[in-house]
Chains A and B, each alone.
Chain A
Amino acid sequence: MNSSAPPYKTEFLLGGLLTLLFLLNISLGSVQIPLGEIFSVLMGRHQHSVQADIIWEFRLPKAFTCILAGASLASSGLMMQTLFRNPLAGPDVLGLSSGASLLVAMVILIGAAGSPCLLQISTNPWSVALAASMGSILVFLLVIAVAQKVKDNASLLIIGLMIGAATSSAVSVLQFLSKAEDLQAFMIWTLGSVGGTGWREIQVLFFVLLLGASISFRSMKSLNALLLGENYAQSIGVNIRWSRFWIVLATSIMVGAVTAFCGPIAFVGLAVPHLVRIWIHTSNHKILLPAVMLAGGSLMLLCDLLAQLPGSTQILPLNAITSLMGAPVVIWVVMRTKSIRV
């Protein structure tokens, strides 16, 4: 295209931003670790110092989780906005995180209801992850089944939103029937957290992101074509049913995995595509998809950084930070551009 900037200049800038935030994220926190120390620990020196432990066991996994979660959510958000031609769409628009929440609620809130067997399940950390994944998968299957019967994407969007509403109501009922400490456990889960993941979980997140990203890149042509609307997309050879399936699949696995390990993270998937689109003035997914992933990772690192309140031991919930930061930024951006379209 003769009007775009030198190729990959934006990706370069974003990559730089990501690296910077990555390093900041690792160095700042309740204990400040200077950059030099970080590099020497990463090189393998000072193996058993306190700083090395903090970095390897806590900060590095957290930082990687931020990057993987941010990239997954941002690319899912972009695909949902394009598929549904709706600037308000985010990764949760199909009801996936709501479905995950429902099954996690079932695990946490009824775990102690009766037998020791159920108690065993509810306290196992992997149970929550498994429950969240199953919740997402069930919603995904439901959405796909409906998608076969529904002609246009707008109908699918409404159905996804209604599934979200239905599962939220079910969760409310469960909350109503539960004990105080279970309620608090569930509420803490809904606040979102990137601190609870170990290296094994990160491997899963990485693999899922790889798979989701591959599918989304393979769908670049369909995504671009959908910018013209379904009629024109069809007229240039896009199979609407198939492209819808792959896009929903990629979104579902990425959102499912992130929700499983981090809880439902608000805002990142919705805001990042808009911020990137307005910064680099393009709607071409060939440029947007990688850019949005890098930006998503950066935003998560930043939010996590702020949630840490450098210097103190106080930690704020992640979702609060993502929303508090994200909402005003999007409002400011919309007011500057006067109209926001996908």
Chain B
Amino acid sequence: MVPNTITNALTTLNLTAGYRGPQQVRLFENLNLVLHPGELVCFMGPNGIGKSTLLRTLAGLQPPLSGEIVFPNVPGTQRKENYVSVVLTDRIRTSHLTVYELISFGRYPYLDWTINLSNRDKDIIDRSIAQVNIERLTDKKIDELSDGQMQMVMIARALSQDTPVLLLDEPTAHLDLNNRVEIVNLLRKLSATTGKAILMTTHELELALQTADVVWLATQDKIIKIGAPEDLVLDGSFDRVFNFKGYDLRTGKMGQEAHRGISIHLVGEGPEYVWTKNALERSGFFVLNNGNVEVVIKKENELAWCLSGHPDFKTLASLIAELKKK
């Protein structure tokens, strides 16, 4: 099937990526990949397999070993900077740059040597700032920012470059959970509202499973498996690639062996039921409908757990400590 290079945001034709040098190292071979507008793609795979290298090749930062990368409606030589913008793991070590100045660098492909920003350029910069919600940061110097804030600024910079494709290399690495969630949600929103094709490499399995439209999974044999995240879970691709030890991806739980003699009949509902069940199973108890010990979750004024013959337990920890004694 001939790929539709006009409607795809990016198409690769028999792309082989890797390193030249004294010996050629081929990391991926004969890839025919496609990025569609409005899609969020998570590119995953074991460490060291070459995800960053492929991303840099797609961005035009290093040449492919063979094959091509095609953008729509581009006659003759392609000026990649108008089509692809990147957010990398490189640290910016310059002092004295303000956030606004850094974001304005995204307009450089459209400016001449005088680097004068037109009104249109300023509008695009302001729009990028608004899309990332960092208005309160614009006048700060970049060395005053936290890691999470810096990452948002780099995304705003890439947005101001106004390209159909946005590539991000490990955008959530080294960030705390709040920031990771914020960034992934931002990327989801951007792919949905701006129609950009967004590709990110990541290790965060849970975030990818919940947010990606498409997953590219790099396997050991230099090819990439492509599909919806749930498809790759159900057909075992993730398991094969990652060799999870004791972690069952389908149920999303670490395999536990119920090693205690008693089984629990748990009465309750809603999130309290789910979390209580998790805690009990984590501690090694079976939770069954015909379990021999009954635990009832009470939710009147406060949350409490009832075990017959004992006063109500106010915390799960105390309940489990008591159960372990049996």
- Interface residues of chain A, those whose CB is within 8 Å of chain B, are 1-3, 85, 217-221, 224-225, 227-229, 231-232, 234-238, 277, 281-284, 286, 339, 341-342
Instruction: Name the one of B84, B86, B113 contacting A232, with C-beta atoms under 8 angstroms.
Output: B86
B82 (CB) vs chain A CBs: closest residue: A237
State whether B94 touches A228 (Cβ < 8 A): yes
* Smallest CB-CB A-B distances: 5 pairs: A237-B81, A237-B109, A283-B96, A236-B108, A341-B95
List, sorted by A's number, 15 A–B pairs whose CB atoms are closer than 8 Å: A1-B100, A1-B101, A2-B138, A3-B138, A221-B112, A227-B97, A228-B105, A231-B61, A231-B86, A231-B90, A235-B85, A283-B96, A286-B115, A341-B94, A341-B143
Considering residues B95, B106, B109, which has the most beta carbons from chain A within 10 angstroms of its beta carbon?
B95
- For chain B, the count of residues having a C-beta within 8 Å of the partner chain is 37
Answer yes or no: B172 CB below 8 A from chain A CBs: no
State whether B90 touches A235 (Cβ < 8 A): no
B104 (CB) vs chain A CBs: closest residue: A1
Q: How far is the CA of A237 from the CA of B60 in the complex (A)?
A: 10
| Extra inter-chain contacts (9) besides given A229-B92, A236-B106, CB under 8 Å | A3-B98, A217-B113, A221-B111, A224-B115, A228-B105, A232-B86, A232-B105, A235-B59, A281-B96
Q: How far is the CA of A86 from the CA of B81 in the complex (A)?
A: 26
> Interface residues of A: mostly helix, strand, loop or mixed?
loop
- Interface residues of chain B, those whose CB is within 8 Å of chain A, are 56, 59-61, 79-81, 84-86, 88, 90, 92-98, 100-102, 104-106, 108-109, 111-115, 138-139, 141, 143, 161
Given the interface pairs A1-B101, A224-B105, A286-B115, the reply to whether A235 lies near B139 with Cβ below 8 Å is: no
A2 (CB) vs chain B CBs: closest residue: B100
> Interface residues of B: mostly helix, strand, loop or mixed?
loop
Residues of chain B with a CB closer than 8 A to A220's CB: 113-115
State whether A1 touches B113 (Cβ < 8 A): no
Residues of chain B with a CB closer than 8 A to A236's CB: 81, 105-106, 108-109, 161
B111 (CB) vs chain A CBs: closest residue: A221
Given the interface pairs A3-B98, A283-B94, A341-B95, the reply to whether A221 lies near B88 with Cβ below 8 Å is: no
Q: How far is the CA of A234 from the CA of B108 in the complex (A)?
A: 11
State whether B113 touches A235 (Cβ < 8 A): no
Residues of chain A with a CB closer than 8 A to B81's CB: 235-237
